[in-house]
Structure 1
Amino acid sequence: MGMRLNRHTWRMIVLTAAVVLAAALFGQRGGGGRTDCTVALVPRSGMTILSQNPVRVKRGGDAAFTVQLDPGYHHDEASGLRYENGVLYLDDVRDPRSVQYVPRRECSLTVRDADRGYVEILSGDTVLTGSTAEIRVAAPAHYTVTQVLVNGEGHAVSPAGTVSFQVRGDSDIALDMQGEPVAFSVASDPAGSVRNLSEREEYRYGDTVALRSACASPSVHFDGWSTGAYLSDGGTKLSSDQDIVLTLSGDTRVYANFTDTHTYVVTIDPNGGEASGAVACTDLSAGRPAYLPADTGVLSRKGHVLTGYNTQPDGAGQHYALSAPIMMGEGNVTLYAEWVPVTPADALSYETKDGFVVIKGVSRDIGDTLALPARIDGKPVRRVESRAFAGNAALRTVVLPLGVTRVEKEAFAECPSLSTVYLPKTLISLSPTAFRDCPSFKRLRLLTDTETRVYEDTFDAALADRYERLTATEGKRIIFVAGSSGSFGLDSNLLAERYPDYQIVNFSGSYLYGILPMACLVREHIHQGDVVIFAPEYYEGMYASELNTEIENWMYLESNYNMLEDLDMQLVGRSILSPFVEFFTEREKILPGKQEPHGMYVRTVFNEYGDVSAERGNKKETNPSLPDADIIESAGVDAYAEVFSSIAARGGTCLFSFPPVSDGNASKDRLRSDYDSFTQKVEQSFAGLPCTVISDAADYIFPASVFYDSRYHMTLEGAKLRTQQLIADLDASGILR
């Protein structure tokens, strides 16, 4: 659409054209000799021409125009014209010409939000157009001035705190300020939960934060927000409103306080042991997790080691790990301590060295269970020697008590019946060959005396929440499995609207876990009619061609050690065993404190489905990601085949899609061939397996503008676009009809 001109502008254009035309005609037809020159003064706003215009003057003479300047306008000294007593002079005219003249207008400088910072106008409150204005600025305490906005245009601040700019008209001045970084966190009673509606990468002084509380059940009452501590611990009450907006004025931790009028109790039965203190979990709310005690020494039984809890006294019920959660229902719960008899010292071969005991093997038959004593002859058991129990065909269960620090190479190698191992968090060295060639080793359990969950507020810990949704939802589900591209790149609300007969579980985490641990957790909880969609990122660990050995797998396990029950050590053992020592060693450095996450990488950014639902914009440029077909190897395909088959055997359907990737502002056509080749490799590799490839990788290339902070992490807008593409693929497949 063209630019619209107002009536005044049209009038000036017509008048200017008329003057120029008149000057031309006057120059052609007017009297005078060749030494005469015609001069026209082109009218502009801010003045009125009172004398003849144009005029003829002799060459070398002065052209004069009588003018009246409007109020608030002044002669422009830089115009090349002379102004005296209402007359404009163009001196020493040599050629015919049209003269453009614009008088300078008085302009005001107005400071907006004058109470926010200090602004001193050094050049006076009124200046003329075209002149340079100078101001001095300063920020209030806890702020810095990042730039000065003049009519919305940014200007840099000099080291001296001054800003200069050319005045083009009335100027509206504002300070663009940034608060100093501050820490912000929120804590909630177990009876309720909190959603941070303003989650961001970094918090600063003066930021506003919107919080929303939610009660876990109708019997729960919200008591309000507090700082300093929970209200029951003497905290200062902020508000009773369930929704609150805070302005940060320093490091802040806010507490959400809830009271459940109908609470329940988890009673721990010593089950043949003794309790030296209270072990019951009280004041528990339905629909919320209750964390069970660690082995703190309160429970004891002579000649036995505590290994967890069970719903049945004989251990035939559901097992709960030490320091793991139990989800409360509408009623009290009784759990029974699980005990394993300690192997007698006289059945072991050992030696004392440097004040501690080294276990070297057995001296007689011990049956199918080995539970090392914590002490022998008053000295702590610290180490299991190399090949101490290697080749023991009878062993089914091994319990290494708290206090053991080293397990040497091949200590339990070649034990064909060994199926369950209890490892203590006190280990500082675990040989990668300690359990080599143990084909029945499926289950790892943890012994811990620590109840603090160092990583429970982190992004990784949120997988424990998604695991709870996975195990608690009923009926048919669409279960989405991916790394963080699924966390940041799925809008489960769109899926729920499109497929109302299915519950949605976004079981995405991080590529650092590798695909197999997440797949193991999912396959153990498949319902008849479930649809599982895999969309791994383009990494070896996500295509199972190698096992990731990062500590992040333990970061989510820490929030629910019961998840270990679902992890098949034959499939994922290296991912879990390799980082065991590193995780607990690093964890000890943080205790008794907690890891303090921030920004988007906190547990509270997820909605009920498992999507990162916090508002986020495009933060930085991203490079395009070209998939390498070499990450698809036969070992990885075999591992996927095992997962697909086990899900199908439980009544589920496996589908395969692809992650969203940034085009890096490159042409999608230029990238397409690589993605098409990758799709073909996936289709060829999975041919004949119980899994349908429903997507083309190239369809998941999206503009860089809809990505947040990496080539896989999308904005909310991007998550919608990706989900719409996924829905189109699902509809085209016809599987969810």
Structure 2
Amino acid sequence: MKKKLFYLWALLLVPIVLLLSVFCLPSQYEKSYMGELKYKYNRLKNTDGKRIIIVGGSGMAFDIDSSLIKENFPEYEVVNLGMYAALGTASVLDMAISHCHAGDIIIYAPEQNTQPLSMYLGSDFAWQALDGAYYMLPFFMMSEKNISLMAAAFPRFAVQKLKLFVTNSAPNPDSVYRKSAFNEYGDIADDLPQNTMLNGFDENTAVSYDTSVIPADYVSYLNECDKKATQKGSTLLFAYCPANKAAVVEAKESNFESAIDGYDLFLRNTLAIEVIGNPYDSIMDKEWFYDTNFHLNSSGKKLYTRQFIRNLKAYLSDSSVTAIDIPDKPSLLYAANTEKSVLTSSTYSGNTTITSITVGSDISMIKDYAFKGCTSLKEIHINNTVPSSIQIGQHLLDGTDANIYVPAEALSLYKTDYRFSQYSDRLFAEKQ
């Protein structure tokens, strides 16, 4: 009887502990990249007058200089809601639509990628962003599917938050992916001098302008957003996010222009939202980028923001001059092919006997499917304390059940890193 009572109390205690961990402990993700969302939301909610509200993934966080927009449109305040593709863009757009008012211009510019161009919700990242700001929760519960995703992620988040609190190891990144990298507008404000990618682009993330990238339910959702914005006296526009030309699939084909023109025509004929600008201005040379195929360096940000302003002026029939000086193209950090720094898919893929792999600190890129078919592989050890220095893609662990082990002092950095965070449930500290 005592044993049964013990199990009953344990069953009752577990959900209570999880709830207390989430809602009563101090925020553990305040200094992380995701800790910025509540500040963007509060600026959106509390800014009066006409606003230019920018919505998208991290591309908009990196690629826009809101101070230049403010200089050219002094009658508007600027709110940059650009956040993170792996979080999803629909919930953030819902925030903008919910809090827009008469005279606002909402410019939606998602990265040219399947996650931001869909109804996708990254529930694990959503809980990190909500930490200490649960008043934003309704925007992540707008459908039955999202409610299910958020409910499924809740125990994982609660356990992780409790662990961070008990071990006093709340994430405090020192890379650009941190809360303090943002300015008052919501832009990334760090100085990013040049392209840091091997060969100038991320080979793990191809960019395509095929019309199949955008699903029909997403088109319906955007058109419904347009109706809601119009009813509130706001204007919703669509703009192209920068994309690294070296990674664009169609740029390597003879029908490049016809493919891009076809995609642009598809958007203009399908969306109720007006499309401003043209895709060619956003497909930019690799020298203008920083660390992904969608993040510009500081020089590239000026170039794109100037065109962004010109496109908006054209829409508003504003003929004033946009006087923004553009620096020369920065040199590439890795100007030559550096295959010795790349762990290719041919190195281990298909090896059915290997059980442990160590990735040295000299490796700067791990290609997708690098461990596919490694049926006996249990552990991947990465001897690097700076996760942002390693390029990985969305298929790193496809075809293997192995977990990733990293230096203990860098575990929280890996779990909140722009790329590695998508594998947070399979990231562990090295065994002492």
Q: Relative to structure 1, is the Cα distance of residues 640 and 589 closer, same or farther in structure 2, using a 3 angstrom cutoff?
A: same
- 2:286 paired residue among 667, 682, 704: 704
CA deviation digits over 1:674-728, x for unaligned, max 9? 3323222222221xx3x21112222201111111111111111111111111112
Corresponding residue number in structure 2 for 1:499: 73
CA deviation digits over 1:528-580, x for unaligned, max 9? 11110000112333122x42334111111114111114444327434533422
Corresponding residue number in structure 1 for 2:27: 453
* Whole-angstrom CA distance in 2 between matches of 1:517 and 1:539: 17
Q: In the alignment, is residue 552 of structure 1 matched against residue 136 of structure 2?
A: no
What SS does the corresponding residue of 2:300 show, helix, strand or coil?
helix
Q: Relative to structure 1, is the Cα distance of residues 561 and 665 closer, same or farther in structure 2, using a 3 angstrom cutoff?
A: closer
* 1:665 Cα deviation from its structure 2 partner: 8.5
- 1:634 paired residue among 216, 224, 238: 216
What SS does the corresponding residue of 2:116 show, helix, strand or coil?
helix
Report the more deviating stretch, 723-732 or 601-610.
723-732
Corresponding residue number in structure 1 for 2:308: 726
* Whole-angstrom CA distance in 1 between matches of 2:182 and 2:221: 30
Is the Cα contact below 8 Å between 1:504 and 1:609 reproduced in 2? yes
Corresponding residue number in structure 1 for 2:382: none
* Whole-angstrom CA distance in 2 between matches of 1:449 and 1:425: 10
CA deviation digits over 1:86-109, x for unaligned, max 9? xxxxxxxxxxxxxxxxxxxxxxxx
Task: Give the % identical residues.
Answer: 27
Alignment of 1:403-552 (within 5 A): 403=13, 405=15, 426=18, 448-544=22-118, 546-552=119-125
* 1:465 Cα deviation from its structure 2 partner: 1.1
* Whole-angstrom CA distance in 1 between matches of 2:280 and 2:27: 41
TM-score (norm 2): 0.65
* Whole-angstrom CA distance in 2 between matches of 1:703 and 1:607: 26
Is the Cα contact below 8 Å between 1:476 and 1:501 reproduced in 2? yes
Give 1:680's aligned amino acid.
L
CA deviation digits over 1:117-155, x for unaligned, max 9? xxxxxxxxxxxxxxxxxxxxxxxxxxxxxxxxxxxxxxx
* 1:381 Cα deviation from its structure 2 partner: 5.8
* 1:513 Cα deviation from its structure 2 partner: 1.2
Structure ranking higher in helix proportion: 2
- 2:155 paired residue among 581, 585, 593: 581
* 1:673 Cα deviation from its structure 2 partner: 3.7
* 1:650 Cα deviation from its structure 2 partner: 1.8
Q: Relative to structure 1, is the Cα distance of residues 625 and 540 closer, same or farther in structure 2, using a 3 angstrom cutoff?
A: closer
Give 2:263's aligned amino acid.
F
Is the Cα contact below 8 Å between 1:626 and 1:675 reproduced in 2? no
* Whole-angstrom CA distance in 1 between matches of 2:3 and 2:304: 61
Is the Cα contact below 8 Å between 1:404 and 1:426 reproduced in 2? yes
Report the more deviating stretch, 585-594 or 483-492.
585-594
* 1:613 Cα deviation from its structure 2 partner: 1.0
* Whole-angstrom CA distance in 1 between matches of 2:235 and 2:17: 38
Give 2:289's aligned amino acid.
F
Q: In the alignment, is residue 664 of structure 1 matched against residue 246 of structure 2?
A: yes
* 1:634 Cα deviation from its structure 2 partner: 1.4
Q: In the alignment, is residue 610 of structure 1 matched against residue 202 of structure 2?
A: no
* Whole-angstrom CA distance in 2 between matches of 1:597 and 1:456: 11
Q: In the alignment, is residue 355 of structure 1 matched against residue 5 of structure 2?
A: yes
Corresponding residue number in structure 1 for 2:275: 693
- 1:715 paired residue among 286, 291, 297: 297
Corresponding residue number in structure 2 for 1:622: 201
Q: Relative to structure 1, is the Cα distance of residues 708 and 574 closer, same or farther in structure 2, using a 3 angstrom cutoff?
A: farther
Corresponding residue number in structure 2 for 1:563: 136
What SS does the corresponding residue of 1:511 show, helix, strand or coil?
coil
* 1:506 Cα deviation from its structure 2 partner: 0.5
Is the Cα contact below 8 Å between 1:660 and 1:712 reproduced in 2? yes
Is the Cα contact below 8 Å between 1:538 and 1:628 reproduced in 2? no
Q: Relative to structure 1, is the Cα distance of residues 579 and 497 closer, same or farther in structure 2, using a 3 angstrom cutoff?
A: same
Q: Relative to structure 1, is the Cα distance of residues 527 and 556 closer, same or farther in structure 2, using a 3 angstrom cutoff?
A: same
Corresponding residue number in structure 2 for 1:228: none
* 1:584 Cα deviation from its structure 2 partner: 1.9
Larger Rg: 1
Task: Point out where structure 2 has 5 or more consecutive residues left out of the alignment.
Answer: 320-432
TM-score (norm 1): 0.39
Give 1:676's aligned amino acid.
D
Is the Cα contact below 8 Å between 2:112 and 2:243 reproduced in 1? no
- 2:237 paired residue among 647, 652, 655: 655
* 1:734 Cα deviation from its structure 2 partner: 2.4
* Whole-angstrom CA distance in 2 between matches of 1:553 and 1:735: 39
* 1:504 Cα deviation from its structure 2 partner: 0.2
* Whole-angstrom CA distance in 2 between matches of 1:617 and 1:724: 18
What SS does the corresponding residue of 1:355 show, helix, strand or coil?
helix
Q: Relative to structure 1, is the Cα distance of residues 562 and 724 closer, same or farther in structure 2, using a 3 angstrom cutoff?
A: same
Q: Relative to structure 1, is the Cα distance of residues 549 and 354 closer, same or farther in structure 2, using a 3 angstrom cutoff?
A: farther
What SS does the corresponding residue of 1:478 show, helix, strand or coil?
strand
Corresponding residue number in structure 2 for 1:682: 267
Structure ranking higher in strand proportion: 1
Is the Cα contact below 8 Å between 1:632 and 1:682 reproduced in 2? no
Is the Cα contact below 8 Å between 1:662 and 1:707 reproduced in 2? yes
* Whole-angstrom CA distance in 2 between matches of 1:679 and 1:580: 39
Q: Relative to structure 1, is the Cα distance of residues 404 and 641 closer, same or farther in structure 2, using a 3 angstrom cutoff?
A: farther
CA deviation digits over 1:180-231, x for unaligned, max 9? xxxxxxxxxxxxxxxxxxxxxxxxxxxxxxxxxxxxxxxxxxxxxxxxxxxx
Give 1:685's aligned amino acid.
T
Give 1:664's aligned amino acid.
A
* Whole-angstrom CA distance in 2 between matches of 1:697 and 1:576: 35
* Whole-angstrom CA distance in 1 between matches of 2:311 and 2:217: 28
Task: Point out where structure 1 has 5 or more consecutive residues left out of the alignment.
Answer: 1-351, 359-378, 383-402, 406-423, 428-445
What SS does the corresponding residue of 1:591 show, helix, strand or coil?
helix
* Whole-angstrom CA distance in 1 between matches of 2:24 and 2:94: 26
* Whole-angstrom CA distance in 1 between matches of 2:21 and 2:173: 27
RMSD (Å), alpha carbons: 2.8
User: Between Structure 1 and Structure 2, how many residues are aligned?
Assistant: 307
